Amino acid sequence: MLPSIVAVSSSPLPPNSNSFLLRRKSTSSPSQDRTLTLLRRCKTIQELHQVHAKILKTGRSQDPHLLFKLLHLYSSTFNSVDYASKLFERIQNPDVYHYTALICGSIVSGRYDACFSLFSHLLFVGQIEPDFVVISYVLKACGIELALEEGRQVHGQALKLGVGNERLVCMRLIEFYGKCGEFGDAERVYDGMPQRDVVAATILISCYSDCCLIGKARALFDKVSGKDTACWTAMIDGLVRNGKTSAALELFREMQGENVPLNEVTIVCVLSACSQLGALKLGRWVHSYVGRCGVKLNTYVGSTLVDMYSKCGSLEEAKKVFDEMLEKDVVSYNSMIAGLAMNGRSSEAVKLFQEMVEAGLKPNQITFVSVLKSCSHGGLVELGFEIFESMTKVFDIEPRIEHYGCMVDLLGRVGRLDEAYEFICRMRIQPDHVIWGAFLSACKIHRNLNLAEKVAEILINSETADSGTYVLLSNVYASFGKWREAVLIRVKMKECGIQKEPGCSSIEVDNAVHEFLLGDIRHPQRDEIYRKLDELSDTLKLEGYSPDKEVVLQDIEEDEKEKALSIHSERLAICYGLISTKPMMTLRVVNNLRVCNDCHSMIKLISKITQRKIVLRDRNRFHHFEDGFCSCGDYW
């Protein structure tokens, strides 16, 4: 007998299967047909109760067809598994279809304990033989719950019953073993299928991607013949989720070349890749495809478009999409509020938050992260605390570590370090390395060595610190001229096997994304790029530019510091943009780290002397440079 398992989530009916709703084939009377039609038309559980009452009055309470439909509607459609279970208990001779209806409803409702109990009862009674559909549903529950031992038992039952090679069972087994990380078993099932098809391959590709085995996923994808939209989409999605965004866009172009139609999910995956890389032109093309091919601008697609335009620095286009959406949900508002926040429109973000609440939508955890970040970027301390306190007092939402982090950042940015430290000490939850890191960064900016050393001790003793924490800690010591301490942190970082994330900047030119690292010489046009860099440096010096060498947190000679600054990745990306695009065109650069003070000052001057608008997205926010000024007001 299988044990009950705690429920975590639910999922819909299995794809490409013969739905159990269509399996029962037998004749029915005109009266029964009329009742089935009434059941199909039920829009609410109250209407269903009325039809059910009519069935009882007419003496058909044990009609197997009607009972089957009632069980399905109560458990799957109206999420009333308990009521369906009581109905099931009154069935005098339940058959496999009745068990299937209730097992399916239990999974749809996230009641995996009920699913396993029913299957155990079915086996225990022994009068009814489970078929391949029941087996497939129980395997799905095992996969969701990562119940490896239980799933192996179900696999054994499938083999005993002679349904182990059924297509639907094989696909569920591949999915189950893949989710549990047992890829040897998943591959054996896949290889042993009488007829391996693109659907089975797609499931295995998705499982590989979920477990970061992107190389295996791509190898299998390349072998599959007759790839359909779902298969291409699964591979693109896997690449995006595993940080291989450039490869995802290349694969998308291959998909276009093969004339494979896109669907809603493909569009969202590609837009996510465009968001990460800042590939605005490609994102615009995908948006135009949505309009041309009749894909609905629903909340799913619309929210992703808003997110894409916002993360590509085109806030006006994001707002246009948002305004055009006929229906808006919490996710839609979250995308727009986050877009306004990251682009420095703090007051507008707060106003939209207020409009959302007035529209009757309840904000969630993500909403508050976005609106609190907007307060932080805008220095809106009092308003930020008012919104933070409303989480519990008005919306009954308990703040998480991310919300506390926003408040620490808010106080730290304006230099209220003592208040920030006291706030951390009063937090209801244990502060993590991210909270202390935000506070340490504020100590560095506002030159408070005493508090910085307090935090440094906490972080050094922390076992959760990541590469960013160690680098920040080393940089803080270096900024105060404590070179020995800075070196010791780097040594400890090396001993722990933690590697510094390299700075990388990308720019989209002619629908291709070009990436640059510090001092990069890999680009085929490197000679032209560095000539342009030298030319700019000379011009900037005539404009009064002087390198901020304090930014270079290394104990090296002054001329070496100047050289190190000159080859930062964002400068190389901008120079490539200047030599590769027409005059007056906006340059859009994405950087994976926080832009340094010197690059920020230099890019302001570049925007002035080249008469270009330069949009830079760094790790924290957007900077819109124009005519020597930045949208952040030098507050970032």
Average pLDDT, stretch 509-517?
90
3-state SS of the chain: helix, strand, coil percent to 5?
Answer: 65, 5, 30
267-285 tens-digit pLDDT: 999 999 999 888 899 999 9
Average pLDDT, stretch 8-30?
44
The interaxial angle of helices 112-125 and 132-145, nearest 10 deg, is 140
548: its two tokens: 């901020």
Residue 577 pLDDT > 60, yes or no? yes
293-352 tens-digit pLDDT: 777 889 999 999 999 999 998 999 999 999 999 999 999 999 999 999 999 899 999 999
557-566 tens-digit pLDDT: 556 666 777 8
Helix, strand, or coil here: 623?
strand
pLDDT for the residue 557: 56
pLDDT for the residue 97: 93
279-306 tens-digit pLDDT: 899 999 999 988 787 778 899 999 999 9
Question: If pLDDT is split at 50, 70 and 90, which confidence band does 28 have?
Answer: low
Q: Which residues of 512-535 are buried (b: 16+ CB within 10 A; e: fewer)?
A: ebbbbeeebeebeeeeebbebbee
Helix, strand, or coil here: 619?
coil
pLDDT for the residue 461: 77
613: its two tokens: 């608008």
31: its two tokens: 């009266």
On average, the pLDDT of the chain sits at 88
3: its two tokens: 């044990």
d(CA 451, CA 438): 13
Residue 502 pLDDT > 60, yes or no? yes
d(CA 393, CA 391): 6
Percent of the chain whose predicted confidence (pLDDT) is above 70:
92
190-201 tens-digit pLDDT: 999 988 889 999
Spatial neighbors of 83 by CB under 8 A, at least 6 apart, are: 74
Distance from the first to the final alpha carbon of the chain: 60
pLDDT for the residue 454: 84
Residue 6 pLDDT > 60, yes or no? no
60: its two tokens: 């058909």
Question: If pLDDT is split at 50, 70 and 90, which confidence band does 514 have?
Answer: very high
pLDDT for the residue 441: 85
pLDDT for the residue 14: 38
d(CA 99, CA 319): 50
Please give the order of strands across the beta sheet that includes 614-617.
512-517, 504-509, 587-591, 614-617, 622-626, 629-630
**Vertex 176 angle, CA 174 and 181, to 5°:** 90
User: CATH for 1-196, among 1.20.58, 3.30.70, 1.10.3470, 1.25.40?
Assistant: 1.25.40
Among 458, 483, 486, 484, residue whose Cα is nearest residue 472: 486
262 or 22: whose pLDDT is higher?
A: 262
pLDDT for the residue 248: 94
Q: Which residues of 19-38 are buried (b: 16+ CB within 10 A; e: fewer)?
A: ebeeeeeeeeeeeeeebbee
pLDDT for the residue 9: 28
pLDDT for the residue 550: 59
pLDDT for the residue 556: 52
181-236 tens-digit pLDDT: 999 999 999 999 988 889 999 999 999 999 999 999 999 999 999 999 999 999 99
Residue 166 pLDDT > 70, yes or no? yes
Average pLDDT, stretch 488-516?
84
What does 389-424 look like in DSSP terms, one character per residue? HHHHHTS-----HHHHHHHHHHHHHTT-HHHHHHHH
Segment among 156-160, 458-462, 605-609 with least mean pLDDT: 458-462
82-119 tens-digit pLDDT: 999 999 999 999 999 999 999 999 999 999 989 999 99
- Bridge partners of 269? none
Segment among 12-21, 201-210, 260-269, 508-517 with least mean pLDDT: 12-21
d(CA 408, CA 421): 8
109-156 tens-digit pLDDT: 999 989 999 999 998 887 889 999 999 999 999 999 999 999 999 999
Spatial neighbors of 147 by CB under 8 A, at least 6 apart, are: 5, 141
Question: If pLDDT is split at 50, 70 and 90, which confidence band does 449 have?
Answer: confident
d(CA 150, CA 141): 10
Residue 385 pLDDT > 90, yes or no? yes
pLDDT for the residue 456: 78
